[in-house]
Structure 1
């Protein structure tokens, strides 16, 4: 029996997106041989989670045994319907990453033409809404529901049309879908002529932080015709409009090098897009979209400052940096505070910092203004604005209409940041410090009192013992015989002294 494991950090999105650990599951590999011949599920199939299973319960395998569909366990009580890459034990697809089921006998997966995951407490959790006849996984990792007709099989539904955070090689990525990172913060989408990475800083507002436009080196883009992307076995991410030739080729490190294992592209929980290939029992990275760590949206967390080399500090020099940021992550805006209008509620304090830059300013909008004061004033009067960065030389004013995340350290002090920080968080911190100080003072006082009381009790008991000893000695002298007194050495000593 062998185990393999790795873990990744956790956060939630507004729809209840729970962090799927991007890990190598602790797997008892004895399951690889259980049901290894199950390569097709037919109408009438049902399955429930097996309580003793600690990580993954396989239900269906592809012909060469590389992929398996089954119940993926998350903690002690949750599960997802997932496709797992068997050699690495890593999930490459989730049926419904925004809603987890319960790991209990009441949760049922069945195939009645549709593949359905349900629970009597919450009803249907996920369904393909199809009328098929069989379910199978291809060697590509594509899960399909098929229906047979006179000429063969017709694909009614396939997992390749509904990716989660991973693209496998030869899987088409269209403008109708998106990749979403396991923590729900980042997404990859296609534009008319580009691939873009987006971060959602608050509900309903996302910001593009990486964009790769089609170079049109081998073919020109035809207006009005949608594009799609695909990871090629030859080691590149291509954009296409037709199969004739790609309109763009984003090369990997192993471009046109023969690789025996499969390839995949994953949107990671830090917001980077990375490519891998399977070689010698491990995933090897051969592509990443963003090489400079400081260009990631949350490299140093809320109100963090990323220094050259990737080290993190706080925008506020008085605050010590800790993992995840310098102030608690925020959401929303300043338009409604405690039910009051923005104009009558000053619930923030201002943090200014010179020598800062936005990590992806080339992809942000800006306004040209005449002075730093004008730039700051425009943000101050806008309740949706959390901060601004002003360039003294160019006069460009960049407004940040979302909670402040990572800024980049820049040697030129002419670039000045203006940032709002919720005062309520500062007050909570101060109240927490005062409470901690009060508790420490109370504990100290109690300890001093206990010490004094203990010492007093000890001295009182000691005095009682001495009084008791003196009393007993007096009793011995008064009741003992004169003959015994003469025998005592102390009496003899007294007599000798008198001589």
Structure 2
């Protein structure tokens, strides 16, 4: 790291730099730098293996710096130092390289760039200094009488919310794999899945509507917002005095000095955590049943409560954690190159979030299937013979839930060859093992026959050459080699 400008007090504190080792293998170059001024610049340090600290809060609990990713790349992140837990990441279009040309600088805007790509990310501001608050919030301020905040990271959350961080209707919380996100509706918190690339109709799989137990949502008084309260609950508000909903955590109203956070996880669940001082403990989860997660067993998977994942196609094993390869679970069937499919039917299945899906009433299973068959964007349907409800799935098939009701039937389109890969691999592996065993057996038998042939040939050869005087493997007992052995024993 190179720093081109320090204030006087910071320069005097320069010798206090130290390295803090954590129990997770991260190391944090924790300096006394608690503000960045115009002219600041920093580059990745090649000797750093995990995290390079650039800015700390006043308590030392949080740090802004470079996180090394896949050894050759970096991300600008805010870490909770005691646990090395990532709380925020700069949303770059792609990750910069961990090399000297990459640099972070502050010229009124906080900018990540290199000479080739130019700008990876920028705050697009005209500020005078950068601070990291003791709540993990990066702030860019003007050095005026009010020290006004013109930009803050709390307005641009990634996958995590911390205590007292407002989450508004203009924000989105996105899982680290980019598949799931949280946003607010007019009176609810919704969790959504991006099951189909390029689609504007993402699937909602959880909708928590405000109970309006303490106050009512009043039209015209502004949108609602969510806030993680230090008392241990995720609340929805219309204004500071209008708490319209409470989702209580396990530690609700318990006294303690720990901090809290919520995160949308890579499996699509929204979870809350509490810091005990030595570890994060699970304090809340929006979805408690694994089978109700949007894709707990992957594409074309089947989740049955109390059992391991399996595949909708009984011929395919789920041992590797998936039922079809990624290239067989994308897009639709509208292209002439990708419109070939086979039909898979399965009884006793239903969608984990069917209450949030659109449906049509149809007279028969055949009518429901036919409506999907003629529609190239349809991947399948789930039909209930009891209610006549036909649920159409317009994205690659995700995990279905196994139920005991055989009147609930699934009809699914699978690309030709999908699911056969593991069967073919297993068959090829079996044939390979069989051939290997045959070769080994043949080699053993051949070697035994060869040794027998050599033994017989050796005896007959000795008799022929030495007039019947040769015995055993030694045919020249008077040779120089044998004489040396005999003399050595005297």
TM above 0.5, one fold? yes
Structure 2 equivalent of residue 263 of structure 1: 260
Structure 1 equivalent of residue 55 of structure 2: 60
How far apart, in 2, do the equivalents of 1:325 and 1:428 lie?
11
- Segments of structure 2 that go 5 or more residues without pairing to the other structure are 1-19, 471-490
Alpha-carbon distance change, 305 to 136 in structure 1, aligned in 2, over 3 angstroms: same
The CA deviation at 1:273 is: 0.5
Task: Kindly indicate whether the alpha-carbon contact (under 8 Å) linking 1:239 and 1:247 is maintained by their aligned counterparts in 2.
Answer: yes
More displaced stretch, 418-427 vs 117-126: 418-427
Structure 2 equivalent of residue 226 of structure 1: 223
Instruction: Give 2:85's match in structure 1, choosing from 77, 81, 90.
Output: 90
SS in 2 for 1:298: coil
Report 1:377-388 matches (<5 A): 377-388=370-381
**Cα deviations across residues 372-420 of structure 1 (Å, max 9, x unaligned)?**
1111111111111111111111100001111111111111111111111
Structure 2 equivalent of residue 480 of structure 1: none
The CA deviation at 1:45 is: 1.0
How far apart, in 2, do the equivalents of 1:142 and 1:254 lie?
24
**Cα deviations across residues 141-199 of structure 1 (Å, max 9, x unaligned)?**
110111122x2212111100110100011111111111111111110011111110011
Whether 1:213 aligns to 2:209 is yes
The CA deviation at 1:452 is: 6.3
Whether 1:69 aligns to 2:102 is no
The CA deviation at 1:337 is: 4.0
Instruction: Give 1:128's match in structure 2, choosing from 101, 123, 133.
Output: 123
Structure 2 equivalent of residue 115 of structure 1: 110
Larger Rg: 1
Alpha-carbon distance change, 250 to 429 in structure 1, aligned in 2, over 3 angstroms: closer
The CA deviation at 1:473 is: 3.2
More displaced stretch, 248-257 vs 190-199: 248-257
Alpha-carbon distance change, 391 to 165 in structure 1, aligned in 2, over 3 angstroms: same
How far apart, in 2, do the equivalents of 1:119 and 1:306 lie?
47
Structure 2 equivalent of residue 357 of structure 1: 350
Instruction: Give 1:168's match in structure 2, choosing from 155, 162, 173.
Output: 162
SS in 2 for 1:336: coil
Whether 1:198 aligns to 2:195 is no
SS in 2 for 1:130: coil
More displaced stretch, 101-110 vs 308-317: 308-317
SS in 2 for 1:465: helix
SS in 2 for 1:82: strand
Structure 2 equivalent of residue 314 of structure 1: 311
Question: What TM-score comes out, normalization by structure 1 length?
Answer: 0.84
- Segments of structure 1 that go 5 or more residues without pairing to the other structure are 6-25, 478-499
Q: How many residues are paired up?
A: 446
Structure 2 equivalent of residue 334 of structure 1: 333
Task: Kindly indicate whether the alpha-carbon contact (under 8 Å) linking 2:64 and 2:76 is maintained by their aligned counterparts in 1.
Answer: yes
How far apart, in 1, do the equivalents of 2:437 and 2:404 lie?
47
SS in 1 for 2:194: strand
Alpha-carbon distance change, 296 to 215 in structure 1, aligned in 2, over 3 angstroms: same
How far apart, in 1, do the equivalents of 2:210 and 2:425 lie?
52
How far apart, in 1, do the equivalents of 2:99 and 2:131 lie?
25
The CA deviation at 1:444 is: 5.6
Instruction: Give 1:103's match in structure 2, choosing from 80, 98, 104.
Output: 98
**Cα deviations across residues 257-304 of structure 1 (Å, max 9, x unaligned)?**
223121111111111101112113111222111111110011111222
How far apart, in 2, do the equivalents of 1:263 and 1:451 lie?
66
Structure 2 equivalent of residue 469 of structure 1: 462
How far apart, in 2, do the equivalents of 1:213 and 1:301 lie?
28
The CA deviation at 1:318 is: 2.6
